Structure 1
Amino acid sequence: MYINYTTTGQLVLPMDIEVLIPEHHLCRTVDLAVEKMNPNILLSLHPGGGRPPYHPKMMLKIILYAYVNRIYSSRQIAKQLGENIYFMWLSGNQKPDFRTINRFRSNRMKDVIYETFFGIVDLLCQEGLVKLEDYYFDGTKIEANANRYTFVWRKATEKFDTKLDVKYKQIVLSIEEVMKEDEQAEKEMDFQEKLEAAPVTSEKIQETIKKVEKKLEQEPTNRTLKKAKRQLEKDLLPRKQKYEEQKATFGDRNSYSKTDKDATFMRMKEDHMKNGQLKAGYNVQIGTEGQFITGFSLHQRAGDPGCLIPHFELMKKYNRPKPKTLIADSGYGSEENYDYCEKEEMEALVKYNTFDKEQTKAWKNQIGKLENMTYDEELDEWICGNNKRLTFSYERKRKSENGYESVKRTYMCTDCYGCPFQSSCAKGKNTKSISVSMKNQKQRQEVRERLTSEEAKKKYRQRKIEVEPVFAQIKHNSHFQRFTLRGLSKTTVEWGLICVAHNLKKWATYTEKQQKVRE
């Protein structure tokens, strides 16, 4: 005998669907977190007027619960509202369509995503899950929702633009030959020099077209002018406008994608073709504590070192508490970043790029390494292991992407001839030279001293089990390796929701473990 089964009978469900929700289910954590947030954050999203909108708390709950469950499509979220009891409970059995969900996520949330994220972080702090004292910092690259082959490169644009300028100047010279009168020819011998010096713009090309049109009214049969007008209108002007638009889109970048103009082409770890191909993406930076994400930012630059200062300036903009200690890998160990941490009174447990190599015996035996030399402060000279002196030659200034100015001093040895180490030390050159920032050398010495304490070593070792597992959880366990939205503002919203979902999932796991301990 079997338990009675039929698909034609009436299914009887309780009037209150909450009865079916387990006490410590993840959706209850999502509900609790959104309810505890500052209500003014979400209530500011709708200015009022027109048809009453869905409540922003409800919309945020269903989106966060979807992201917790690796559902990133607005169509799939809308589908769950009619099939999944957890979504039904969070939505109060309301069913916004996928357009409404996507509009709320893309347009409404972009103004308050950081307030929402930091609101959840503050709740974690109240629960005692984070202290916001140690900040484990790292970055990764996430592929943009863009075609992999619709790239535009700055070098190519500048190359084609230069060729266009040359062609324009040739056309203008041919026009001038037709238009200028014989008596004026001698007065305008320097016209070509002026033409070479003046920059070519789309406005200038338009002015030239108007000038040619005016002359054609007097000489409608002039073939040279007709051909020049056709070339300028049909070819040069559209291309010049396109190049100007591309240059404006580049900003400080070297590339962008046609399908997501905010995305920059970067080298990704996840390489589907296994050939080191560049793909459009964003550089994501996060700070963690106890594997909870306590800060995030998105960047259009591929390199990590220049992202640290903008990240913390963003944190400062939202009045976030300053961490006492910053822990990051050697990718962030630059003079600019050390200087920023010192000014902001953050203890920087950040190695520089040669820190680990300096501890090896092979490195210490290399006589040409700056770290193995002695500095004579009185004479401003460096002394190598063979007692040869490197004297000051010149200095140069360099500006970073963030506007930081560093000074590099170059020292050269005048006594390299006959030295038995010349070939290995000078690396094939006649004389040994070094380029050094004195400020950075002082910073490196401070880092070496700082990282000798047991507490600092323990915190730095902790870095390996702090940030990297978070990225692994998001990119591999949650299958989020590519954005679904396009544009910097929208991808910032999406990554912010991913970070909130990650924190809520960990919060729920922690609560469940605590409950089991009590039982």
Structure 2
Amino acid sequence: MVVNVRSGGRDQGFLLPPSVRDWLPGDHLAFFVIDVVAELDLTAFYAAFRADGRGGAVYDPEMMLGVLIYAYCTGERSSRRIEKRLVEDVAYRVIAVNQTPDHATLARFRARHQDAIAALFSQVLGLCVKAGLVDAGLVAIDGTKIEADASYFANRTRDELAAAVLAEAAEVDAAEDEQHGDRSGSELPDDWSGGRGRRERIRAALAELDGQKARDYEARMAERAAKEAATGKGIRGPKPKPDAVKRPGARKANTTDPHSRIIAHKARGVMQGYNAQTAATKDQIVVAAEVTATTNDQPHFVPIAAAVSENFAEAGAGKVGTFVADAGYWTGANATAEVGADVLIATRKQAWRRAEIPDDDKLAVLARVNRGELSLRQAGEILGVSYTWVRDMTKRYFGKDGPRQARTAQPEPDEWMPVIEKLARGEISKRAACDQLQVSAGRVNTMLAHVRGEAVDPEIARHAMDAKLASEAGSKAYRKRQHSIEPVFGNIKNNLGYRRFTRRGMPAVHAEWRLICSVHNLLKLRTAAATA
């Protein structure tokens, strides 16, 4: 039987000069990346090279950047796998114009130009603004935990790091004695490392320990004295007490990535990683991307809001209308901060917002815990709070001899304001105010700071924020938070697969996170252009 087949000769040469553009369809992602990179200002990349043209030839930064962006768009970050794709993948060959830089060249390019790569975020945001994709009316702020390129088990205490330095020195001495004998050692090549890289990481870890906030009483008092000497002013507020200072385990630093931290993660307990702070519009365009090494989101609300305003001003996107954030960012200071826009922050976790439990019922649950009828975790599930809250409140309201305090709710401003005003005028003592209001001395200090105009009372700020969230406009705006920021993290982590940083150190990780967010925006821009 004769079969009509298409014949082809593998040894047949091209009859005409080939064009790499003919190898892909015209709407391929590779051509979109090529066109975007051509529109970017790459002055910072070219400025890193000699202006006189001397020295060995280098790969064109425009081509290298195109390869890097396309790789991140397709979920590929390994320099070795990118090198392989430059040979086997047609799209990579089109972007690289049939050039094949090796993995070392790719890695050096990414490290050498990390600041310029991070700065591309603003340019990409500007392209989104020009395309009409950025709506400044509402910006949602949130953070996500991302693993560091380091092991949790590489954390060491100061004593362990010091022992490692001594052991490393002894190991190097023994190696040099064996290598040189009685010689000076100058005969060795200059690139003999002798474990230098590991010692540098250990030194960096020691420096991180020095920079961490002290937890012991003596060190905290020394830090307090140093700040007062530097500013020339006394620090307000209660001084640390020897018996009240928290005494957790010894401080540790990671020898692989000293800038990373042990971060609490609700799905995995703890992880070695970073907290990536992000702001996005209701159309899921990332408008700010920063990286921190702390679990708590509260200190980062004002900085990320300021970063959004700066990025908008640079990109010409106007001013933000409203910032929205979840309860992880709630503080009275954040709620009343001057950020150039309206602020909506949830004041309590979602479980509390779903079912508000009367104070008398809370006290009844705590009484059952005190009698041993409920465990801390069972009570926490009933009340919608953590077991540590249940433990602390049980200790507060109950003791061996019965109830310690009859009050279960904080006094309202109308009740405590006259009492605290008397305290501010010196008419009553602080102890008398505590007894009259049935609150702790720390709570009285906070109330006193509010009366003096030094700080906003958190309870007053909470009531005002709850009123805003309960209004029709506030409720409608806050409901947009989840649909604005959560899809960004879903695309980055699930679709692109970026759950772990590949670089180490805060500057490198910050540059990588901005590149990831830039790629997310570029993919949104391409989708919008395709559907227009």
Q: Name the TM-score, length of structure 2 as normaliser.
A: 0.65
Aligned to 1:501: 519
Does the residue aligned with 1:485 lie in a helix, a strand or coil? coil
Aligned to 1:445: 463
What does the per-residue CA deviation read over 1:284-304, in whole Å, with 9 as the maximum and x for residues that have no partner? 001111112111001122211
Aligned to 2:420: 380
For 1:291, which of 250, 259, 284 is the aligned residue? 284
For 2:255, which of 245, 249, 258 is the aligned residue? 258
Aligned to 2:189: none
Does the residue aligned with 1:35 lie in a helix, a strand or coil? helix
Q: Aligned pair in 2 of structure 1 residues 480, 15: CA closer, same or farther (>3 Å)? A: same
Does the residue aligned with 1:482 lie in a helix, a strand or coil? coil
What does the per-residue CA deviation read over 1:193-222, in whole Å, with 9 as the maximum and x for residues that have no partner? xxxxxxxxxxxxxxxxxxxxxxxxxxxxxx
Shift, 1:5, TM fit: 5.4
For 1:336, which of 333, 336, 339 is the aligned residue? 333
Matching of residues 39-438 of structure 1 within 5 Å: 39-48=42-51, 49-108=54-113, 110-153=114-157, 246-250=205-209, 251-252=211-212, 254-269=251-266, 271=268, 276=269, 278-289=270-281, 290-314=283-307, 320=314, 323-340=320-337, 342=338, 344-353=339-348, 357=352, 360-363=355-358, 365=360, 368-370=408-410, 374-380=414-420, 394=430, 411-414=433-436, 436-437=446-447, 438=450
Q: Aligned pair in 2 of structure 1 residues 99, 412: CA closer, same or farther (>3 Å)? A: same
Aligned to 2:393: none
Of 314-323 and 115-124, deviating more is 314-323
Q: Aligned pair in 2 of structure 1 residues 375, 40: CA closer, same or farther (>3 Å)? A: farther
Look at both structures and tell me which one has the larger radius of gyration over its CA atoms. 1
Shift, 1:9, TM fit: 4.8
Aligned to 1:20: 23
Query: Which residue identity is paired with 1:311?
Result: I
Q: What is the alpha-carbon root mean square deviation over aligned residues?
A: 3.6
Of 368-377 and 25-34, deviating more is 368-377
Counterpart-to-counterpart distance in 2, 1:123 and 1:466: 19
Does the residue aligned with 1:380 lie in a helix, a strand or coil? helix
Counterpart-to-counterpart distance in 1, 2:116 and 2:207: 28
Counterpart-to-counterpart distance in 2, 1:84 and 1:248: 44
Q: Aligned pair in 2 of structure 1 residues 316, 111: CA closer, same or farther (>3 Å)? A: farther
* Greater strand proportion: 1
Shift, 1:480, TM fit: 1.3
Kept in 1, the 8 Å contact 2:145–2:275? The answer is: yes
Kept in 1, the 8 Å contact 2:288–2:307? The answer is: no
Q: Aligned pair in 2 of structure 1 residues 63, 153: CA closer, same or farther (>3 Å)? A: same
In structure 2, the gaps of 5 or more residues are 164-199, 214-250, 363-406, 451-455
In structure 1, the gaps of 5 or more residues are 162-240, 383-390, 396-409, 417-425, 515-519
Kept in 2, the 8 Å contact 1:381–1:392? The answer is: no
Q: Aligned pair in 2 of structure 1 residues 512, 145: CA closer, same or farther (>3 Å)? A: same
Query: Which residue identity is paired with 2:515?
Result: L
For 1:483, which of 483, 501, 514 is the aligned residue? 501
Q: Aligned pair in 2 of structure 1 residues 142, 153: CA closer, same or farther (>3 Å)? A: farther
Does the residue aligned with 1:135 lie in a helix, a strand or coil? strand
Of 351-360 and 501-510, deviating more is 351-360
Percent identity among equivalent residues?
Answer: 26
Counterpart-to-counterpart distance in 2, 1:242 and 1:262: 10
Shift, 1:137, TM fit: 0.6
